[in-house]
Amino acid sequence: MAENDEYVPEFDISRPTIARVYDAILGGKDNFAADREGRDAYVKYVPNAKDVALDNREGLRKGVEYIAKQGVDQFLDIGAGLPTMQNTHQIAQAVNPDATVVYVDNDPIVLAHGRALLATNKTTTIVTADLRDPQSILDHEEVKANIDFTRPVGLMVVGLHMHFHDDEQPDEWVRVLLDACPSGSYLLITDFVDTGEPLQKAIEQAGLESLGNGWIRTPERIREHFLGLPLVDDKLEFIPRWFPGEPDREVPAVEDLEPWHKIMMGGIGYKA
């Protein structure tokens, strides 16, 4: 891990954060009472909230593994959250031990935890920055030191769009980052989806009650997050049916999925 002596600002444990509520849902220990209350709000509306979170992690695994197998050896993971199972660097480095990963999150506790966890990993680092200010990410010294924007990048915005309302124009924040990535780069996205299933609306209600955000979007709207990039296999799909690079693979029918498996969709865009 690169030397990272930046100041870790104080954090407010009286207010839940995305990273810590997610950690609480997954059964982690890096959370506080307010975050556990946020978790309880999710579970109240969606009893299988942990399964939804695990689906999102599975989408991350599938996406990173695919991108790494295409020869991309550097990843910029925006809104990475607290380390859990099957982290980006573990997945990418299982394909290529020399793969570089930069995690970005706006929650200072993520940086504090990540410093200790990644102390012996020389090609992985973590920085505190916010997608709302994408240029600050690109200008961050740790990002510039570890990501070579003259070579293809795996840009990851996993489970993050849903926490921003369309009025905030999150696509434009991602556009700034994508514009910095050269030809041959990939954009990995997962998001809450609205296909009319009752549990999808329930998780939106849970997010609004827990965190004050968490909006579902139609598949057509989620495709717009890819900013015109063609999708790998031309697929935006429920995670259990999504196997990038395997378009002919036999997958379960939509009607055979459990309701909680129809909350998250994933896709990968390719920048030609």
Encode pLDDT of 165-192 as tens digits: 999 999 999 999 999 999 999 999 999 9
Question: Is residue 204 a part of any domain in this protein?
Answer: no
Sign of the Cα pseudo-torsion (200, 205, 206, 210, in order)? positive
**Tell me, what amino acid is at 16?**
P
What angle, 0 to 180 degrees and rounded to 10, lies between the N-to-C axes of helices 49-69 and 88-95? 30
In a domain, 64, yes or no: yes
70-127 pLDDT, tens digit per residue, is 999 999 999 998 877 789 999 999 999 999 999 999 988 888 777 776 767 788 999 9
| Nearest-10 crossing angle of helices 108-117, 18-25 | 60
Q: What is the pLDDT of residue 235?
A: 96
Q: Which domain holds residue 113?
A: 52-197+214-245+256-271
In this structure, is residue 42 part of a structural domain? no
Count of domains forming the chain: 1
What's the average model confidence in pLDDT over 121-136? Answer: 92
CATH number at residue 65: 3.40.50.150
90, HSE (Cβ side, Cα atoms, 13 Å): 10
Sheet with strand 154-158: strands edge to edge: 124-128, 100-105, 74-78, 154-158, 186-192, 264-270, 237-238
Domain-embedded: residue 7 = no
Asked whether residue 59 is domain-assigned, the answer is yes
Q: What is the pTM of this model?
A: 0.93
| 196: region left, alpha or beta (phi > 0 left; psi from -120 to 50 alpha) | left
Determine, yes or no, domain membership for 60: yes
In a domain, 76, yes or no: yes
In a domain, 250, yes or no: no
With contact defined as beta carbons under 8 Å apart, do 171 and 201 qualify? no
